[in-house]
Amino acid sequence: MAHTGEGSEHTVSNRTMELVVAGGFIAASILVMYDNWRIGARWVEDGPQAGYFPFYIGLIMFIASATTFGLGVMAGPDHTNFVERAQLKQVLQVLLPTVAFVVLIGLLGIYVSTTIFILFFMTWLGKYPIYKAAPIAVLVPLFLFVMFEIWFLVPLPKGPLETALGY
Amino acid sequence: MEALTSLIHGFGVLGDPMNIVYMFVGIFLGVLIGVLPGLGGANGVAILLPLTFSMSPVSAIIMLSSIYWGALFGGAITSVLFNIPGEPWSVATTFDGYPMAQQGRAGEALTAAFTGSFFGAFVATLLLTFLAPVIARFALNFGPAEFFAVYLLTFCSFVGMGKESPFKVISAMMLGFALAAVGLDTVTGQLRMTFGSAELLRGFDFLVAVIGLFGVGEILLTMEEGLAFKGRSAKINLRVVLHTWKELPRLWLTALRGSIVGCWMGITPGGATPASFMSYGLAKRFSRNGARFGKGEIEGVLAPETAAHAAGTSALLPMLTLGIPGSPTAAVLLGGLLIWGLQPGPLLFVEQKDFVWGLIASIYLGNIAGLIVVLTTVPLFASILRIPFSIIAPIILVVCAVGAYTVHNALLDISVMLIFGVLGYLFKKLGYPLAPLVLALVLGDMAESSFRQAMLLSRGSLSIFWANPLVAILVTLALAMLFWPLISFVTERFGRKRPQMVPGQ
Asked whether the beta carbons of residue B460 and residue A43 sit closer than 8 angstroms, the reply is: yes
Across the interface, which of B181, B224, B406 has its CB nearest the CB of A83?
A: B224
Give B-chain residues touching A105 at CB under 8 angstroms.
401, 405, 411, 414
Across the interface, which of B53, B178, B391 has its CB nearest the CB of A58?
A: B178
Helices (H), chain A: 14-39, 52-74, 85-120, 130-145, 160-164
- B 340-399: CB under 8 A from A: 388, 390-391, 393-395, 397-398
Looking at the complex, does the CB of residue A153 fall below 8 Å from at least one CB of chain B? yes
- B 265-294: CB under 8 A from A: none
Looking at the complex, does the CB of residue A162 fall below 8 Å from at least one CB of chain B? no
Ramachandran sector of residue B16 (left: φ over 0; alpha: ψ -120 to 50; beta: rest) = beta
C-alpha span between B203 and B444 (Å, rounded): 12
C-alpha span between B15 and B493 (Å, rounded): 61
Which one-letter DSSP state was computed for residue A158? B
Poorest-pLDDT segment among A42-46, B293-297, B313-317, B347-351: A42-46
Indicate whether A163 pLDDT > 70.
yes
pLDDT band at B496 (very low <50, low <70, confident <90, very high): low
Q: What is the pLDDT of residues A101-149, one digit of tens each?
A: 999 998 898 999 999 999 998 888 888 898 888 999 999 999 988 888 8
CB A120 within 8 A of CB B16: no
Query: Mean pLDDT, to the nearest integer, of B4-32?
Result: 84
Per-residue confidence (pLDDT) for residue B8, from 0 to 100? 83
Looking at the complex, does the CB of residue A102 fall below 8 Å from at least one CB of chain B? yes
CB atoms near residue A107 (< 10 Å): 11
Asked whether the beta carbons of residue B455 and residue A60 sit closer than 8 angstroms, the reply is: no
Q: For chain B, what is the total number of helices (H) and then of strands (E)?
A: 23, 2
C-alpha span between A115 and A109 (Å, rounded): 11
Question: Phi and psi of B204, rounded to 5°?
Answer: -100, 125
Asked whether the beta carbons of residue B418 and residue A83 sit closer than 8 angstroms, the reply is: no
Amino acid present at B358: G
Looking at the complex, does the CB of residue A91 fall below 8 Å from at least one CB of chain B? yes
Q: Which has more confidence, A25 or B485?
A: A25
Asked whether the beta carbons of residue A54 and residue B175 sit closer than 8 angstroms, the reply is: no
Whether the CA torsion B130, B132, B133, B135 is positive or negative: it is positive
Instruction: Please choose, from the candidates B299, B270, B386, the residue with its C-alpha nearest in 3D space to the C-alpha of residue B113.
Output: B299
Instruction: Please choose, from the candidates B228, B205, B229, B227, the residue with its C-alpha nearest in 3D space to the C-alpha of residue B218.
Output: B227
Indicate whether A31 pLDDT > 50.
yes
Which one-letter DSSP state was computed for residue B410? -
Whether the CA torsion A58, A62, A63, A68 is positive or negative: it is positive
Question: How far off is chain B from A151, nearest CA to CA, in Å?
Answer: 10
The complex's ipTM works out to 0.90
Question: How far off is chain B from A9, nearest CA to CA, in Å?
Answer: 14
Per-residue confidence (pLDDT) for residue B227, from 0 to 100? 57
pLDDT band at B81 (very low <50, low <70, confident <90, very high): confident
Looking at the complex, does the CB of residue B200 fall below 8 Å from at least one CB of chain A? no
Question: How far off is chain B from A5, nearest CA to CA, in Å?
Answer: 23
Per-residue confidence (pLDDT) for residue B229, from 0 to 100? 53
C-alpha span between B436 and B174 (Å, rounded): 9
Across the interface, which of A68, A82, A110 has its CB nearest the CB of B401?
A: A110
Q: What percent of chain A clears pLDDT 90, i.e. is strictly above it?
A: 36
Coil, helix or strand at residue B164: coil
Looking at the complex, does the CB of residue A138 fall below 8 Å from at least one CB of chain B? no
Across the A:B interface, residue pairs with CB atoms under 8 Å apart total 167
C-alpha span between B170 and B481 (Å, rounded): 13
Looking at the complex, does the CB of residue B415 fall below 8 Å from at least one CB of chain A? yes
Asked whether the beta carbons of residue A94 and residue B192 sit closer than 8 angstroms, the reply is: no
pLDDT band at B443 (very low <50, low <70, confident <90, very high): confident
Per-residue confidence (pLDDT) for residue A8, from 0 to 100? 56
Per-residue confidence (pLDDT) for residue B401, from 0 to 100? 92
Asked whether the beta carbons of residue B177 and residue A21 sit closer than 8 angstroms, the reply is: no
Asked whether the beta carbons of residue A154 and residue B393 sit closer than 8 angstroms, the reply is: no
Amino acid present at B454: A
CB-based contacts of B65, cutoff 8 Å, min separation 6: B26, B316, B333, B359, B362, B363, B366
Q: What are the residue boundaries of the structural domains of chain B, listed by start?
A: 2-495
